[in-house]
A = this chain, B = another copy of it.
Amino acid sequence: MGELENKQVIFKGYIDGVPKETDLEFKVTKIDLNVHTKGSGAILVKNLYLSCDPYMRGRMRDFHGSYIKPFVPGQVIEGFGVSKVIHSDHPNFKPGDFITGFTGWEQYSLIKNTDQLRKIQPDDDIPLSFYVGLLGMPGITAYAGFYEVCTPQKGEYVFVSAASGAVGQLVGQLAKLHGCYVVGSAGSKEKVEILKNKLGFDEAFNYKEESDLDATLKRYFPQGIDIYFDNVGGDMLDAALLNMRIHGRIAVCGMVSQQSLSTPIGIYNLLNLITRRIKMQGFLQSDYLHLYPRFLEHVASYYKQGKILYVEDMNEGLESAPAAFAGLFHGKNVGKQVICVARD
């Protein structure tokens, strides 16, 4: 097979504030397709789809105490992807297999840590890119967060922020299938239309057009909120705390509004946790991987039956990755942000 050109997206160095396109740079290297020695257990893959996720911001600071290590300056960005096996020194993988898991933001990757990979069973009815979205990390985040953290009951009032995003859109649809009343917030008219007309939310609003989020939530939830699936933190969380019902639950999933701030904004309404007996729980999907088989069966089946949809924002080419990633933090993506590096 010899040596091939390998375009890479490199992490330039630790940052403050909101990620910019220029925090990443391109490099063209060569990769030896036969480089891995016998017994290494490594596999060589061609990357097809790469996932842009807000949590990656956390890896752009020089802090080693979190649940995931920071990126290494000068090295290729790492993230979830869907890849095709080109060459394998591992008995579980053979050329032509499709896999999903952590890979590099580059055309080809040598993956040594294969324990974290999942093999994809090809299915003509399910796009491969869904394995970094609906059927990947965002999907199981929505699934575990909604069923395990929010413990929903039929008929409950559910509010989802960043509702058209990778996680939010599935939360809202699962909540509807569960018999809940669901309102979503998003940051543009287009997204609000998608929530109401495509994804089946009962109501949706553009938070950028609202000057008093407390009043907004009171308008959409005159009877209060049982479940708040919080993808944003900040002011929206503070307003939700004023509108929770007794024994309400808040799943704290992401705080995209806060991730880039060196000093996050204050939350003032936590006294309501006591008076309304609210459970507020942070979680990561990595604690719920034992649910993956059930999740996959459940959600793939819903999708094939047309009971749920999944909106992707697909950018073409590795070259589009830095702008697409930076765009996440300005809400530019409509649906799950994916980079298509190659189609097969």
Contact = CB atoms under 8 A, between A and B. Distances in A.
A266 interface: yes
Contacts of A281: 273, 277-281
Interface string A253-276: 111001100011111111111111
Contacts of A327: none
Q: How many copies does the complex hold?
A: 2
B276 A268 contact: no
A283 interface: yes
A268 B272 contact: no
Contacts of A269: 264
A275 B282 contact: yes
Given A266-B265, A266-B266, A277 B287 contact: yes
11 contacts: A253-B274, A255-B271, A258-B271, A265-B268, A266-B267, A273-B281, A275-B282, A279-B279, A279-B281, A280-B280, A281-B281
A118 to B, nearest CB: 22
Contacts of A284: 274-275, 277
Interface on chain A toward B: helix, strand, loop, or mixed SS?
Answer: loop
Interface in A222-248: 233, 237, 246-247
A58 interface: yes
A264 B274 contact: no
A252 interface: yes
A274 B254 contact: yes
B271 A268 contact: no
Nearest to A284: B277
A66 interface: yes
Contacts of A272: 282
A251 to B, nearest CB: 10
Given A254-B274, A279-B280, 10 more contacts: A252-B274, A253-B274, A259-B271, A274-B283, A274-B284, A275-B284, A277-B283, A278-B282, A279-B282, A280-B280
Which 7 A-B pairs rank lowest in CB-CB distance, beginning with the nearest? A266-B266, A273-B282, A274-B282, A279-B281, A280-B280, A252-B273, A267-B267
Nearest to A63: B275
Nearest to A281: B279
A282 B287 contact: no
Given A263-B268, A266-B268, A267-B266, A280 B273 contact: yes
A184 to B, nearest CB: 20
A255 B274 contact: yes
Interface in A57-108: 58, 66-67
A212 to B, nearest CB: 16
Contacts of A254: 274
A70 to B, nearest CB: 13
Contact of A264 (B264, B271, B277, B287): B271
